[in-house]
Structure 1
Amino acid sequence: KYFKEIGLQPKGTNGYEQPFKANLDTVHVLDARNVVGFLDNGADRTIVIGAHYDHLGEGYQRGSLIPDSKGKIHNGADDNASGVAGVLELARHFSKNKVKEKHNFLFICFSAEELGLLGSKYYANNPTIDLSTVNLMLNFDMIGRFDPNKAITVGGWGTSPTWGQVIPPVLERDKMAFKIDSAGAGASDHTSFYVKKIPVLFFFTGVHGDYHKPSDDIELINFEGEAKILNSVVGIVNAVDKLPNRLEYRETAMPMARNMSFKVTMGLLLDYSFNGPGIKVDGVSKNRPGEAAGIKGGDLILRLDKYTLNTIYDYMGALGKFEKGQTVEAEVQRGADKLTLPVTFK
């Protein structure tokens, strides 16, 4: 409704909506929908601006960090009503600023992020515009707890060499302390666009004690702080809009899982929505053990050495058993073929 009020074109498959099926687990399937609006400036490049609007509901789905969560409302004010508010405000700004930028804008509110980035992945695999025109994807996830004494995280820094040129002047002008995360992939919706070789930026004010708990509520949101972040984002978008050429995409290192450390890695980006058997590979980093072994995007890894893999946690547990210099067998399903590939950890 809001997208219509501010004059955005519907860019779903059913008006502004893009319905899809979300697998809650191997048995339960939910009806979900992304909400998509388009600001057509007649340009040959487009900027995607998105945030997920789902959270944990009444605590029945996985993800709550309190015991006995069932029946307790999780409003998700920071995660991620704050991000959705950012998308809506930027949609209002760019549609009402009486400026015709050299980019079109596609605004998307994603569903089913908490189930494994399902909404953004569905959109990226079933786009309603030509993804080859997308110059940049901006993602907002938890931007409501800005603390002026702490730095905001800007993720995706390594996905384009241009970020080091255009972002610091804007944030320094706005006296915004920031820290960078170079990875293009992570536990939010920008990942789905990064794997399509699109430069991304991810804005995040940090994890807090109310994360995935009923206490993540509106009284704790720093509205003025979020407005300051969005003002800086407008500055970054304006700087990108003035560039004569498209952004250059660069592949980045894969992020490590939080709170886990490994002596070895394979350099794989995994599909967190896949429900087994095996783990599904979405992407492979260059010059890493996975690529050297011949693993490709779309492969299912069924086994590493003696460890059967059915979940991401099985995979992380197996990695913790290996040492640098060790070679192990990976049993891989590729289409109808089963392969055994040697993985040497370096």
Structure 2
Amino acid sequence: MRLILGVLVGLFLISCAEKEKVKVTMKEDVAALADDALNGRQTGTEGELKAAAYIEKRFKEIGLQPKGVSGLYTQTFTFKPSTNPHEQAEYTGSRSDSTLTGTNVIGYLDNQGENTIVIGAHYDHLGMGGEGSLYREGAAIHNGADDNASGVSVMLQIAEELSEKKSNNNYLFIAFSGEEMGLLGSNYFVKNPTIDTKKVPYMINLDMVGRLNQENTLAVHGVGTSPVFKQTLFANNDQGFTIAEHESGIGPSDHTSFYLADIPVLFFFTGQHEDYHKPSDDSEKLNYEGMEKIKKYLLNIIEDLDDKGRLTFIKTKNETEDVPAFKVALGVVPDYLYTGKGMRIDGVSEDKPAQKAGLKKGDIVMKLGELDTLDMMSYMKALATFEEGQTTIVTVKRGKEMVEVEVTF
């Protein structure tokens, strides 16, 4: 009897150890994916394959089934990179010295439901820099902690939570490759799906969710792609977010591929920052408490939509079509999450008109010349009216004061 009791205690301790072993935190996931050893996870490199292996391991620990190709967690695609930034890369079925191979990692939570929700985040980044990098001092590892280890880590935590709950829906979790090269992995998946995409009620995309600001502002794109989204977003906002909502389903991330396949989409984003596409986008700079809040918010939304079945899809206006052409630049990074009146400056570029005129981060541009800049769109339309060499007065709100500066473009 004592021997049997000892064996049972031993099995219990082993079982507890195994359960503890899989409880990985968001911070640990980000640290693993943004490690220097992965050399920036550029598509088609050994570093990206190491990241893919890590994500596959996490999917297995969570208990997700493989839903890639041929019973694997992976779906690979071979392509010839474009040398023209205005042209799409070309998919090809054969590999050669001029091609690269991307790897989507796909896990499935089967609840025996009729419909399957897709939750995705891209895990590739810029490698050592090059095309797309905003770093001008040579090759360096671009770890992409916010872009987009943050999205992958939140996705993994959501997968873990959903695996422990009953649901009317199945869930497909996809870590996309090739996003930085033109949404390649999501585009390939939509055209070569491993599930019936006609039974996908909606898709959630998490890209750069690691820098929630002090104002608690969360940008949500795709709000107009289904009539239920707006009410759902605001009814479940128990985390006190300031929601910067955008109607369009088109944008520079993987949700666009699903929107173009007539699937309602929601894209969550905490905004650009001075480390965007630079080697300084490292794991210690992320707001992990903010990521936890976003995870809880998304779980609320998913639960609220659980019994809604297939959602009505609505085509939205492409907001980028309204952006006017510019002949000049002020030389600032706009704060895209700012929801107040005016255009708030989030960063000032070196040796550009704004810096020379003394404009600062945090200034809110209220007027360009005689033209009011009530929001981002009116700011862009006003800027488009100026020619190189022109001088004008820019009115900004700095703290509680209104300040006028002279700017020469």
Shift of 1:248: 0.7
Equivalent position of 1:224 in the other structure: 289
Letter in 2 for 1:247: L
- Match for residue 37 of structure 1 among 107, 111, 119: 107
- Distance in 2, matches of 1:237 and 1:69, equals 43
- Distance in 1, matches of 2:321 and 2:175, equals 25
- Distance in 1, matches of 2:79 and 2:145, equals 23
Shift of 1:150: 4.3
* Off by >4 Å, runs of 4+ in structure 1: none
- Mark the CA change 1:257 to 1:142 in structure 2 (over 3 Å): closer, same or farther: farther
Alpha-carbon deviations, 1:71-119, whole Å to 9, x = none?
A: x000000000001101111111111x2x220110000000010000000
- Distance in 2, matches of 1:150 and 1:104, equals 31
Q: Which has the larger radius of gyration?
A: 2
- Match for residue 69 of structure 2 among 3, 7, 13: 13
Identity %: 49
Alpha-carbon deviations, 1:132-156, whole Å to 9, x = none?
A: 0100100000000011314110110
Shift of 1:262: 4.4
Shift of 1:175: 1.2
Equivalent position of 1:87 in the other structure: 155
Equivalent position of 1:261 in the other structure: 324
Shift of 1:257: 6.9
- Mark the CA change 1:58 to 1:257 in structure 2 (over 3 Å): closer, same or farther: farther
TM-score by length of 1: 0.71
Structure 1: runs of 5+ lacking an equivalent: 264-319, 321-346
Q: 2:249 matched to 1:184?
A: yes
Secondary structure, in 3 states, of the residue corresponding to 1:124?
A: helix
Query: Contact 2:200–2:310 at 8 Å: present in 1 too?
Result: no
- Distance in 2, matches of 1:122 and 1:247, equals 23
- Distance in 2, matches of 1:175 and 1:13, equals 41
Query: Contact 1:145–1:205 at 8 Å: present in 2 too?
Result: yes
Equivalent position of 1:302 in the other structure: none
- Match for residue 132 of structure 2 among 41, 52, 63: 63
Q: By percentage of residues, which structure has more helix?
A: 2
Alpha-carbon deviations, 1:5-36, whole Å to 9, x = none?
A: 22111000140000111332258321111000
Q: 2:307 matched to 1:242?
A: yes
Query: Contact 1:22–1:112 at 8 Å: present in 2 too?
Result: no
> Which structure exhibits the higher relative contact order, with contacts defined as CA atoms closer than 8 Å and separated by 6 or more residues?
1
Q: 2:242 matched to 1:170?
A: no
- Distance in 2, matches of 1:114 and 1:23, equals 14
Q: 2:143 matched to 1:75?
A: yes
Q: 2:173 matched to 1:116?
A: no
Query: Contact 2:216–2:240 at 8 Å: present in 1 too?
Result: no
Query: Contact 1:64–1:212 at 8 Å: present in 2 too?
Result: yes
Letter in 1 for 2:299: V
Query: Contact 1:50–1:139 at 8 Å: present in 2 too?
Result: yes
- Distance in 1, matches of 2:277 and 2:117, equals 30
- Distance in 1, matches of 2:98 and 2:216, equals 41
Equivalent position of 1:106 in the other structure: 172
CA RMSD in angstroms comes to 1.8
Equivalent position of 2:91 in the other structure: none
- Distance in 1, matches of 2:230 and 2:202, equals 15
